């Protein structure tokens, strides 16, 4: 399918011939139907020549619109208009509307996915894979990937492990773990309702335990009858604090005294900017911690690849449940990830995206300081999102609704709380360029003060 680029070129006035002008007009052309699903766009070099802009201007626009879901790109097939709208975080589809600014937390920069490296890893893995490995997979996971994951976690997160269990993402890992927990389980307050709903679906009673600036209140946890707890120790979600060393020791002591289980969700610990790396909680008590990780925040949620490191006494039961559930995770993508880890591609991608996300975070914070000086950024040292504490008395849910009417997608802090607390917005910044983030903050400020 082709389109009349002379008409489109005429829409870009000289004063708009900047990267965000190309990006905005492409986005508008998709929205109003001038660029239909399946339309193949010119190469970045060709379009740049037609519009009289730098090639990097078009490349940047294409990358951003791929990340937002307006365009798709495949090696050898060029860039085309997507058939479906952008998808939401954590596997939850977005409403059918297209957001002008999608700041929902939970997504990495999908346009930065290392497609060429992933294709090369698949080819190499298939070339090396014995025929026998194309049979039904080992429910514990492909042995080659398990070895690479153990090496990676030991090197990067100080995890103490001899083996791992490969899962279909973090959700699969959590539901496998939920089946070995009885009665009630403590969760952080605030926290993501997705994890709580998963636990409840397995018949567990969830008990919210407040967090403060040092993390979960272990003193209050000790007053419950729970023998399990789900924590985000390295980067609490959504508030972003690190579990304080004193709290880490207290939590481990609680687990040992009660023979309890700590489920450590290490969902985005690799993304840190202003603080040194902190080892996983699991290293302090491997016999009491189920460690959970995933590729969703480093590569992409679509891969559905995650892992568990479990106490040895629980491993056989979890592997057996994995076999009953789905006969194991697909071998070929596991082999590809193993190749990416073994050859350093995973680390290189992480270094690139860490620098990318830091620039985006800094742009967001600079814009907040300029346009919303009374709002306090929280949890800025790591991760892919930031919480903006709003002035007391502000209705964050009402502001979220007003922003949605303007095409700005954010989450209110109230969407993660079970008891009232201060108002705030939870903004994901990984998927938007610095210019788009600045524009989004200006839009938020316009609506907030209106």
Q: Are residues 129 and 259 in the same domain?
A: yes
pLDDT at 34 over 80: no
* pLDDT value, residue 90: 35
In a domain, 90, yes or no: no
Q: Are residues 296 and 332 in the same domain?
A: yes
The CATH number assigned to the domain holding 410 equals: 3.90.1150.10
3-state SS of 247-305?
A: HHHHHHHHHHHHCCEEEEECCCCCCECCCCCCCCHHHHCCCCEEEEEECCCCCCHHHCC
Q: Are residues 158 and 269 in the same domain?
A: yes
Q: Are residues 191 and 208 in the same domain?
A: yes
Q: Are residues 359 and 339 in the same domain?
A: no
Q: Place 37 in a pLDDT band, splitting at 50, 70 and 90.
A: confident
pLDDT at 97 over 60: no
In a domain, 375, yes or no: yes
pLDDT tens by residue, 203-224 = 999 999 999 999 999 999 999 9
pLDDT tens by residue, 284-323 = 999 999 999 999 999 999 999 999 999 999 999 999 999 9
Q: How many domains does the chain have?
A: 3
pLDDT at 365 over 80: yes
Q: Are residues 297 and 209 in the same domain?
A: yes
pLDDT at 18 over 60: no
In a domain, 94, yes or no: no
Domain-terminating residue out of 310, 343, 376: 343
pTM: 0.78
The CATH number assigned to the domain holding 175 equals: 3.40.640.10
Q: Are residues 228 and 354 in the same domain?
A: no
Q: Where is average pLDDT lowest: 112-116, 173-177, 268-272, 441-445?
A: 268-272
In a domain, 258, yes or no: yes
In a domain, 87, yes or no: no
Q: Above pLDDT 90, what percent of the chain?
A: 74
pLDDT at 338 over 60: yes
In a domain, 334, yes or no: yes
The CATH number assigned to the domain holding 50 equals: 1.10.10.10
Average pLDDT over residues 12-24: 53
The range of the structural domain enclosing residue 365 comes to 101-105+348-449
In a domain, 91, yes or no: no
pLDDT at 253 over 70: yes
């Amino acid at each position: 399918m082709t389109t009349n680029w002379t008409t489109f070129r005429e829409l870009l006035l000289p004063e708009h011939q900047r990267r965000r002008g190309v990006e905005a007009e492409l986005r508008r052309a998709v929205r109003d139907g001038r660029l239909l699903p399946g339309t193949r766009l010119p190469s970045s070099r060709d379009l740049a020549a037609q519009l009289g802009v730098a090639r990097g201007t078009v490349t940047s626009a294409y990358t951003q619109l791929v990340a937002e879901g307006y365009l798709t790109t495949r090696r050898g097939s060029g860039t085309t208009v997507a058939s479906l709208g952008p998808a939401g975080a954590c596997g939850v589809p977005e409403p059918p509307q297209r957001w002008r600014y999608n700041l929902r937390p939970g997504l990495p920069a999908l346009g930065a996915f290392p497609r060429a490296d992933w294709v090369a890893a698949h080819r190499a893995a298939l070339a090396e894979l014995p025929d026998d490995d194309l049979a039904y997979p080992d429910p514990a996971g492909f042995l080659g990937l398990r070895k690479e994951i153990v090496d990676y976690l030991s090197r990067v997160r100080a995890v103490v492990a001899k083996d791992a269990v490969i899962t279909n993402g973090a959700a699969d890992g959590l539901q496998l773990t939920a089946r070995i927990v009885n009665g009630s389980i403590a969760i952080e307050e605030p926290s993501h309702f997705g994890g709580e709903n998963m636990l409840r679906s397995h018949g567990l009673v969830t008990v919210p335990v407040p967090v403060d600036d040092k993390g979960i209140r272990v003193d209050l946890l000790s007053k419950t009858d729970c023998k399990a707890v789900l924590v985000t120790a390295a980067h609490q979600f959504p508030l972003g604090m690190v579990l304080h060393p004193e709290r880490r020791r207290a939590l481990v002591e609680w687990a040992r005294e009660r023979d309890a289980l700590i489920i450590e969700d290490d969902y985005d610990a690799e993304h840190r900017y202003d603080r040194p790396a902190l080892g996983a909680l699991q290293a302090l008590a491997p016999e009491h911690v189920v460690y959970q990780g995933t590729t969703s925040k480093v590569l992409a949620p679509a891969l559905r690849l995650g892992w568990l490191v479990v106490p040895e006494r629980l491993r056989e039961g979890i592997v057996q449940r994995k076999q009953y559930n789905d006969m194991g995770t697909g071998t070929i993508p596991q082999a590809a990830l193993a190749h990416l880890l073994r050859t350093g591609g995973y680390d290189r991608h992480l270094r690139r995206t860490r620098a990318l996300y830091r620039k985006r975070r800094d742009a967001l914070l600079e814009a907040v300081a300029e346009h919303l000086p009374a709002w306090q950024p929280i949890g800025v040292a790591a991760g892919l999102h930031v919480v903006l504490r709003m002035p007391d008395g502000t209705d964050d849910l009402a502001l979220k609704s007003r922003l949605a009417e303007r095409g700005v997608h954010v989450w209110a802090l109230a969407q993660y709380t079970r008891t009232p607390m201060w108002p705030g917005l939870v903004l994901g910044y990984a998927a938007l360029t610095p210019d788009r983030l600045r524009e989004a903050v200006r839009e938020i400020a316009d609506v907030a003060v209106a």
